[in-house]
Amino acid sequence: MKSSTRQYFQFAHHHILLLTLVYFSGRVLDAHAVPKQRPFNNTIPAILVFGDSTVDPGNNDYINRVFKGNFPPYGRDFANHAATGRFTNGRLPSDYIILYMGIKDYIPPYLNQSLSIEELITGVSFASAGTGYDPLTPTLSKQLEYFQEYRERLEGAIGKEETGDLIKRSIFLLSAGTNDFALNYFTEQLRRLSFSASNYEKFVLQHFKGFIQGLLSQGATKIAVVGLPPMGCLPVIITSNTIPLTGRQCVERINSVARDYNTLLQSEMRHLQSTQLNKETKIYYADIYGPLQDMIQNHQRYGFEVVSRACCGTGLVEASFMCNAKTPVCPDASKYIFWDAIHPTDRAYYLIFQAFRPLIDFIIKDSTS
């Protein structure tokens, strides 16, 4: 189980996003209504996304990675039932956010070389499934290189000054960290040989800090950072940590590490914020743990019927190439929190987006003040 579980995690990392922004306790049950666009957003021109599979709209389709989601049944409920490379049955939270902000319908993958200048100007995702902060995973440093290339392309098209202004006014969204803990620490246990859990948290945070400083050096002034989700509730984690026939429950010792890390992450973000000389720079914490945990604990309130298994296959371990056109899939994914053994369904992602809407509104308002 360990070797196969590692495979499912490498591109995953989870789960969950994403996405963005602080958990306000308001809960919205209408999970498939298209979010209304916000006419008041006349200040933020683009969203630039970094991270793992929770915000990867298909970049892995264009690089030499085993872990892809560009085949059925992925995308079953996306526009035209297209398997775009998103590791879910429909949209990602970042797609819902950019639609809500009135910028465009979806965030495309940067590595799609057919993107127009208009698509580049209004926002792209550099995220890649399997990415983490730890150098044992595909690291975020490569995404920073892609961003520098992106900046050069824009400078050639619209000029250096216009590009600098665009970057200054854009939102940078970062969703990563699950692969570091779920894969390197708890599944493969590679880092457990030399780190206690608390020391590994600090190790990951050092790499996080370096990445944020890289974004700031490139002109970013609005950065939303997603914390860790309740990793112990991922179906694949439950499977690898549960004795058969004893019942499937979230793994609390793994969830407790996620909570501890999120506390340290917020402290580090406050420190980074306090040291910025540019007072326009804002770093926002995005709590994904609270909304997802609430969905799991109170699933009937949200209309979910299945919590600890996924829609695809047995729901225990399948993800990426193990969730394919020949794999049985549940008839109604909206009854499930998880689409595959790592990633949430479109409906769960939409509810996460709904929980984040107040912070999205706050960032937009904060940008006008």
- Given the residues 13, 14, 15, 53, the one annotated as active site: 53
In whole angstroms, what is the distance from residue 98 CA to residue 169 CA? 14
Residues near 65 by beta carbon (within 8 Å), at least 6 away in sequence: 11, 128, 129, 130, 138
- Given the residues 13, 14, 207, 343, the one annotated as active site: 343
In whole angstroms, what is the distance from residue 63 CA to residue 327 CA? 25
3-class state of residue 51 by DSSP: strand
In whole angstroms, what is the distance from residue 355 CA to residue 96 CA? 12
In whole angstroms, what is the distance from residue 346 CA to residue 285 CA? 23
Q: From start to end of the chain, where are the E strands?
A: 47-51, 171-175, 222-226, 282-286, 306-310, 336-338
| Cβ neighbours of 306 (radius 10 Å) | 18
Contact 66, 4 (CB under 8 A): no
**Pairing of the two strands 171-175 and 222-226:** parallel
At residue 293, what is the residue type? Q
Angle made by CA atoms 255, 50, 173, in degrees to the nearest 5: 80
Exposure string of 157-184, with b = 16+ CB inside 10 Å and e = fewer, is eeeeeebeebbeebbbbbbbbbbbbbbb
Question: Does 340 participate in catalysis according to the annotation?
Answer: yes
In whole angstroms, what is the distance from residue 48 CA to residue 32 CA? 25
If residue 204 lies in a helix (H) or strand (E), which one and from where to where?
helix 197-217
3-class state of residue 145 by DSSP: helix
Question: Does 299 participate in catalysis according to the annotation?
Answer: no
List residues with catalytic annotation: 53, 340, 343
